[in-house]
Chains A and B, each alone.
Chain A
Amino acid sequence: MPGNKAVAYGVKLSRVEGISLFPITPQTTIVEYLADFIANGELEAEYIHAEGEHTAMGVAIGLSLAGVRTFTATNSQGLAYMHECVAQAPAYRTPLLMAIANRTLGWFWSIQPDYSDVMPELNLGWVIQFVESNQECLDTVIQLYKIAEDKRVMLPAMLCLDGFYLSYSNERVEIPDQGEVDDFLPPYEPEHSVDPTLRDFGPAAGLPPPLHTTYRRIYEEILHDAKAVIKEVDEEFGRRFGRSYGGLIEEYRCDDVDTLLVTMGSMTTAARRAIDRLQGEGRRIGLVKVKTLRPFPIEEFRALAERVDAIGVVDRMMLHGTGGGGLFADLKSALYSLEERPLLVDFIAGMGGDDISTMDFVEMGERVLKTAERGRVEREVEYVEHPYQPTARIIPLKEKRVIYPGSGGCTGCGASIIIRHVLDVLGPNTVIVDPPNCAGVNYASVVGVPWILANYAATAGYQTGFYRAYKLKGKADKVHVVSFAGDGGTVDIGLQALSGAAERGESIIWICYDNEAYMNTGIQRSGSTPLFARTTTTPAGKVWRGKGERPKNVPLIMAAHGIPYVATASIAFIPDLRRKVKRAAEITSAGKGLAYIHIQAPCPTGWYYPPEKTVEVARLAVLTGAWPLIEIEEGRVKINVKPKKLRPIKEYLRLQGRFRHLTDEQIEEIQRWVNESWESWLKLEEMGKLPWYK
């Protein structure tokens, strides 16, 4: 099974009671497997799909403080967005577990692994372990709960597994017996949980300044003492289950060697082969795998250092401005106080998922051996670089366009139709400011205008910056600053910044193409997913029957800001769509404030219908009332397409696989929801003008 599934099994076997999440590749399948377990009644746990990672970590802390065994998972951009809450978890003594399917942190984006995402989180007081195999993923989950919940520790823990190399690759994994895991890991029953029915206190958030230094010392002592617990737990796990991982570090063929390579995570497997090969040639080099990065195994490395002449560190973590990598810096500072120190060299390798081959490790090993032979360090830090082969197949066209034919989008993608018409209407003086989503992945390199990737939650912030800059330069009426955000980026994680921009009256255009789920990460529910739709985080099983909640009415939320223009649109009504985009551009060019257009974007991949039906599905959404076409200009509500009689919702639902599991009662309930929403729009239209508009 893949590493992510092994983690999910570990969580299930640990009888976790609370799970909070937000999708991000390559972590997401962990929480999808957990959703499946819950949907099918195999695991009983609260499952909270938050609207962003900052919230997800907040939820996890709340669960854990209230005394519940808690799990969450993320990586990269998501981990960075969480950071503030991550920093608080240790002081609140929340022994929750977070799995990190490592992925580089942008900087330059990639969905592939390196450790730049955990790097900023290393020194906050968490216990942090890395794993090499999928079996180790499962076993480490169970071990880490035991370590974290130990009274001598009571700290949150991170389990780092390399994205893709472990998260998605298949290996044989043995699933331990539930009864044996229960014996090893009893239920979590903290004596200090926040519970006003039991006790009248909770943990303090602040300390007077004179106590800060003291508490830093105390936490350092706790982390130091945690090392003994880590070793104990690993040994006990080994006795019970027959597998152990060294606790802090694992030595591989380190007897009678003069030199060492130090590795972390999945790269270790290739490094082992390199060591086998080098030792086969009689070379005296061994391997040390860092299992626990925090607390750092200082004593273990000092003991090793006494035995060897040179150590080479393989670093998938760059500390910019220090000239080297993170593991290197840790090791260097751990060994400095020794009287006799081995020579140290650092190899920066495998950044952004670049593969480190066995041959690379052989070469690194040879360099370390040479360093030992020479008795001095020639070059302290080496970069293991590989040539780049472009893969994009671009056909040069003679004429300049705002958008070129051909894209990376799925066959029959509705969002593709939208972006082509939007750019065609807006023309070349357009800056697209785009949160991460399908459109960015597929169109950023197919347009002839600047396409700026914004961090997810801050998109409207980036837009504000652009708009104000053009205003300063006297160009605000000439340049359209436009988002092309998905529903996740609009109604969930991006809503706060969007609301701020609306209230400040920034004259920007917000286009939301709504495919009614997080598609780019593989179809997870969003605040816009319709009632009862099946997604990977709202599966249909024995217990769950698709998403249990109605979607948010974001056009109305936007209108509540009193902005000049709000509209919905559909790809089945292109003239209407184009007119609305044009109107939005006129309004923002006149500096009147934010214009918001919400366009349904049927998605054959996520809605499970054949690709030729994209426009047909969109048309039925309008004709059944599932997607009313609305325009609110200066508070006046207008329904643009008003069929005499709405078609039954069934006609729309039955085309799509995401609704295939529906029972008759569920269909009736959806019909009720559609009718109610349609009635509300009719009433709003009758009012003439929304009362809060001037």
Chain B
Amino acid sequence: MSREEPPFGIKGLVLRGGPLGGGGVSGGMYVGDWKIFSPKIDYERCTKCWLCVTYCPEAALSKGERGPELDPRFCKGCGICGNECPVEAIEMVRE
């Protein structure tokens, strides 16, 4: 820390997104290795109601052409998407 360039010429000021990483700059936290179960999406069944996208606490699901697209880097495997899917198009399977 002591070796970093002072931002705005103010010595000792620490800004998020600066030397400590995170926030302020674009980036998501890698949490993909937390999961034990992973959502498996059945695109045949999916009616694109997007409830799973709405409820995902990590924004690991996004709206795609064929239905929800999973970014496994951000999914913790909580299973809320599977629990809330009204047509049972999401099954939680062991990693």
Contacts and interface: CB of A to CB of B under 8 A. Distances in A.
B29 A404 contact: yes
Contact of A412 (B1, B26, B71, B80): B80
B84 to A, nearest CB: 5
B57 A416 contact: yes
B64 interface: no
Interface string A98-114: 00000000001000000
Given A108-B14, A448-B26, A615-B80, A403 B21 contact: no
Contacts of B59: 403-406, 420
A117 B57 CA distance: 36
B34 A404 contact: no
Contacts of B76: 411-412
Contact of B27 (A390, A396, A574, A604): A396
Interface residues of A, number: 44
Interface in A293-313: none
A269 B21 CA distance: 34
A521 interface: no
Q: Which of B14, B22, B27, B34 has the most CB of A within 10 A?
A: B27
Contacts of B28: 394-395, 397, 404-406, 446
A669 interface: no
Given A420-B59, A444-B16, A614 B26 contact: no
Nearest to A396: B27
A610 B23 CA distance: 30
A405 B58 contact: yes
A388 B14 CA distance: 14
A613 B78 CA distance: 9
Contacts, number: 125
A330 interface: no
B30 A406 contact: yes
A549 interface: no
A541 interface: no
A412 B79 contact: yes
B27 A397 contact: yes
A446 B23 contact: yes
A430 interface: no
A566 interface: no
Contacts of B73: 395, 406
Contacts of B23: 444-448, 451
Contacts of B10: none
B26 A411 contact: no
A604 B77 CA distance: 13
A357 B22 CA distance: 29
A390 B18 CA distance: 12
A611 B80 contact: yes
A612 interface: yes
B24 to A, nearest CB: 7
Interface in A385-421: 385, 388, 390, 392-401, 403-409, 411-414, 416-417, 420
B80 A612 contact: yes
A388 to B, nearest CB: 6
Contact of A445 (B29, B32, B79, B92): B29
Given A416-B57, A417-B57, A445-B16, A405 B74 contact: yes
A267 interface: no
Nearest to A418: B57
Interface in B6-25: 14, 16, 20-25
Nearest to B32: A406
B89 to A, nearest CB: 15
B16 A394 contact: no
A444 B34 CA distance: 20
A395 B27 contact: yes
B83 A394 contact: no
A411 B22 contact: no
Contacts of B54: 574
B82 interface: yes
B43 interface: no
B31 interface: yes
B83 A616 contact: yes
A406 B83 contact: no
A166 interface: no
A409 B73 CA distance: 15
B85 to A, nearest CB: 11
A444 B92 CA distance: 30
Contacts of B29: 392-395, 404, 406-408, 445-446
Given A396-B25, A407-B29, A451 B16 contact: yes
A392 B78 contact: no
B52 to A, nearest CB: 10
A401 B78 contact: no
Contact of B24 (A393, A397, A399, A448): A448
Nearest to B60: A405
Interface in B28-80: 28-32, 34-35, 54-60, 71, 73-74, 76-80
A614 B58 CA distance: 13
Contacts of B32: 406
A612 B21 contact: no
B55 to A, nearest CB: 5
B55 A571 contact: yes
Contacts of A413: 57
B58 to A, nearest CB: 6
A392 B80 contact: no
Nearest to B31: A406
Q: Which of A408, A613, A615 has the most CB of B within 10 A?
A: A615
Interface of A: 108, 385, 388, 390, 392-401, 403-409, 411-414, 416-417, 420, 444-448, 451, 571, 574, 604, 610-616
Kindly list the 10 A-B residue pairs having the minimum CB-CB distance in the complex, ordered from nearest: A445-B22, A612-B79, A416-B57, A412-B78, A405-B59, A406-B29, A406-B28, A394-B27, A404-B28, A405-B74
12 contacts: A392-B29, A398-B26, A405-B28, A405-B60, A406-B30, A406-B73, A409-B57, A411-B76, A411-B77, A416-B58, A417-B56, A613-B83
